[in-house]
Amino acid sequence: MPYVERGSIILIGATTENPSFEVNAALLSRMRVFVLHALTADELVHLLHNAIESHRGFADFTIDISDDLLHAIADYANGDARTALNTLEMAVTNARIVDGVTQVTKDDLAQIMGTKALLYDKHGEEHYNIISALHKSMRNSDVDAAIYWLARMLEAGEDPLYVARRLVRFASEDVGMADSRALEIAIAAYQACQFLGMPECNVHLTHAVTYLALAPKSNQMEVAYNSAAADAKNTMAEPVPLQIRNGVTGLMKDLGYGKDYQYAHDTKDKLTTMQTMPDNLVGKRYYHPTDQGSEARVKQRVEQIRKWHEEHDGRAEPRG
């Protein structure tokens, strides 16, 4: 580090990974990073035409190859010029020559390319990019994009259980009470992945992704918890009200544990006026149901309960 800072060493490096993951943060802050983006398919096709026509390439050959096949090579190369040029070279070298013309056919390319190797690093940036794309496509209710990103992950060899775990999280984080069946389906998909594994469980994950993408959305489970967690961390840890403590010993009962406890099942409305919040948080609201899907009915129930309390125990207007 001190040699770099003094300029004694000029450090030049190249990596196919995101430097944020692979380079020490202190060193990275003292470097200038240049991002080299993958070539587009059209750029690769242009490069292949140049290779065919250049004297440093295949200008000495008479090559018959269609634009469709050049685009197929470009798609296969995944933005990598070297892969595209190597594939073209192998195709030309192995093609049949008829009357002095090198004829590259679809079958020739199929034998050379085989199965496309998808760009995907299960422990690097692309892993996080694609799971983010899947999550945000589902959140945006774009079912086709969600299925595509799912396929990108699975076909590149991602652990189906990892994907299933992310779907379980999504079911409560982004759907929640708007459709509580979402969590059931996500759990069922996870279990199916355990039973079957790949490739059979791909259809179960597609089932879950489709359901989650099309489900009504509510993020109020996460909002409610984060709000409560902030109070748990940042406000005084008030004691549990005596009336909702368990008086399991004689001493506890003498100290008032469980005194004046009201059993909700013994009441007509299954509601009581008993305080269950700490004193400093009485009236605090964490859960704010939306009008999305099934949560609209939940909202009616929440409002019904709050109205009952206003009428029976004069509870202050909820805050938060």
Percent pLDDT > 90 in the chain is 42
Q: Residue 25: which pLDDT band, with cuts at 50, 70 and 90?
A: confident
Q: Is the pLDDT reported for residue 320 higher than 80?
A: no
Q: How far is CA 272 from CA 155, 253, 286, 299, 319, in A?
A: 55, 21, 20, 20, 20
Measured N-to-C along each axis, helices 143-155 and 202-214 cross at an angle, to the nearest 10 degrees, of: 150
35-57 tens-digit pLDDT: 878 888 899 999 999 999 888 88
Range(s) within the chain of domains with CATH label 1.20.272.10 = 125-214
Domain 125-214 adopts which CATH fold?
Zinc Finger, Delta Prime; domain 3 (1.20.272)
Joined tokens for residue 170: 């999504």
Residue-level pLDDT at 116: 53
* Average pLDDT over every residue of 58-71: 87
- More confident call, 101 vs 6: 101
**Whether residue 19 has pLDDT greater than 90:** no
Q: Which of 17-21, 231-235, 258-262, 284-288 has the lowest mean pLDDT?
A: 17-21
Average pLDDT, the chain: 87
Which of 5-19, 205-219, 281-295 has the highest mean predicted lDDT (pLDDT)?
A: 205-219
Within its chain, how far is the Cα of 266 from the centroid? 46
pLDDT digits (tens, 9 = 90+) for 164-176: 999 999 999 999 9
Residues 240-283: tens digit of each pLDDT: 889 888 888 888 888 888 888 999 999 999 999 998 898 888 88
Averaged pLDDT, 73-102: 87
**pLDDT by residue (tens digit) across 299-316?**
999 999 999 998 887 655
Which ranges in the chain are annotated with CATH 1.10.3710.10? Answer: 240-312
46 vs 18, higher pLDDT: 46
CATH classification number, 41-113, choose in 3.40.190.10, 1.10.8.60, 3.40.50.300, 1.10.10.60: 1.10.8.60
Predicted confidence at residue 93, as pLDDT, reads: 86
| Long-range pairs for 36-45: beta carbons < 8 A, 24 or more residues apart | 37/79, 38/78, 38/79, 38/80, 38/119, 39/79, 39/80, 39/81, 40/79, 41/71, 41/74, 41/75, 42/74, 44/73, 44/74, 44/77, 44/79, 44/81, 44/84, 45/70, 45/71, 45/74
| Stronger pLDDT, 273 or 125, i.e. the higher one | 273
Question: What does the pLDDT read at residue 155?
Answer: 86
Indicate where the chain has its CATH 1.10.8.60 domain(s). Answer: 41-113
Residue pair 135/172 in contact (Cβ under 8 Å)? The answer is no
Q: What is the pLDDT of residues 184-239, one digit of tens each?
A: 999 999 999 999 988 899 999 999 999 999 999 999 999 999 999 999 988 888 88
| pLDDT of 123 strictly over 70 | no
- The encoded tokens of residue 29 equal 């802050």
Q: In the prediction, which pLDDT does 318 show?
A: 55
pTM for the whole thing? Answer: 0.64
**Which tokens belong to 304?**
């019904």
Which pLDDT value is given to residue 121?
54
Classified by CATH at the fold level, domain 240-312 comes out as post-AAA+ oligomerization domain-like (1.10.3710)
